[in-house]
Amino acid sequence: MSSYVISAPATPTLAVAGQDSRFPVRRVFCVGRNYGAHAREMGSDPEREPPFFFTKPADAVVPASGTVPYPPATDDLHHEVELVVALGSGGADIAPADAMALVWGYGVGLDLTRRDLQAQAKNTGRPWDMAKGFDASAPCSPLTPATTLGLAQDARIWLEVNGALRQEGKLGDMIWPIADVISHLSRLVRLEAGDLIYTGTPAGVAALSRGDRVRGGVDGVAQFALTIA
């Protein structure tokens, strides 16, 4: 048996709705600007831009419940509510027609963003890693197995802060549907079971403050409620 020179890190996991078993998280991919209105509010043209991706560490995934810490090194933390796709199998160069067979389940998560650090990185031509991939930057609800729900294109995705609606859209507003997202991503990296894909956010992203109460969800999939500590 192999031994390690330090203790092996724990595998990050997510709860599964209605089960004691948990979903192990391998990697976390995020799709940028996958809703037209959000792309426009961020200054891009959604008609011209192919999908692009960034990543977060697997251990940035935390439960979207209780308290989530306000991160250091920012004065401009933004919320981005997203449908999360959990893969139960993988592959490379996957055709869109075959992509949905890889999906194990769905959740709803937050892509938390240190927007001021992201703006600085963009202005200097540097990577955005520290704007997106910090500790606890990917809260996610428990996952629901795909076999137990029908994912409707008119399902509402939404987010409230302190009871006020901030983000709202429909899954059908995605520029690149889930099957296309999986297909495009599989041409860049080999996907595997345990990978999560955050599929983009509708318009209305804005700043969060310490003490804010955040609720969000995708109708028919999952909801979450948390407080920014």
Average pLDDT over residues 10-26: 97
What tokens were used for 90?
């993988």
Q: What is the pLDDT of residue 48?
A: 62
First to last CA, the chain: 42
For strands 61-63 and 164-170, give the pairing. Answer: unpaired
Determine the pLDDT at residue 185. Answer: 98
Model confidence at 137: pLDDT above 70: yes
Q: How confident is residue 104, by pLDDT bands cut at 50, 70 and 90?
A: very high
HEC-encoded secondary structure of the chain: CCCCCCCCCCCCEEEECCCCCEEECCCEEEEECCEHHHHHHCCCCCCCCCCEEEEECHHHEEECCCEECCCCCCCCEECCEEEEEEECCCECCCCHHHHHHHEEEEEEEECCEEHHHHHHHHHHCCCCHHHHCCCCCEEECCEEEHHHCCCCCCCEEEEEECCEEEEEEEHHHECCCHHHHHHHHHCCCCECCCCEEECCCCCCCCEECCCCEEEEEECCCEEEEEEEC
At residue 150 the predicted structure's pLDDT band, cuts being 50, 70 and 90, is: confident
Q: Does residue 127 have a pLDDT over 70?
A: yes
Across 110-139, average pLDDT: 97
pLDDT computed for residue 46 by the predictor: 67
pLDDT of 38: 60
Domain boundaries, the chain: 20-228
Predicted local distance difference test score (pLDDT) of residue 40: 64
d(CA 73, CA 81): 22
Q: pLDDT tens across 74-83, in order?
A: 999 999 999 9
Among the listed residues 144, 82, 143, the one whose alpha carbon sits nearest the alpha carbon of residue 109 = 82
Residues 189-200, mean pLDDT to the nearest whole number: 98
- Higher-confidence residue of 204 and 38: namely 204
- For the domain made up of 20-228, give the CATH fold: Fumarylacetoacetate hydrolase; domain 2 (3.90.850)
Which stretch of 41-50, 56-65, 98-107, 215-224 has the lowest confidence by average pLDDT? Answer: 41-50
Tell me the average pLDDT of the chain. 95
The pLDDT score that the predictor gives to residue 63 is 98
The answer to whether 63 and 145 are in contact (CB under 8 A) is no
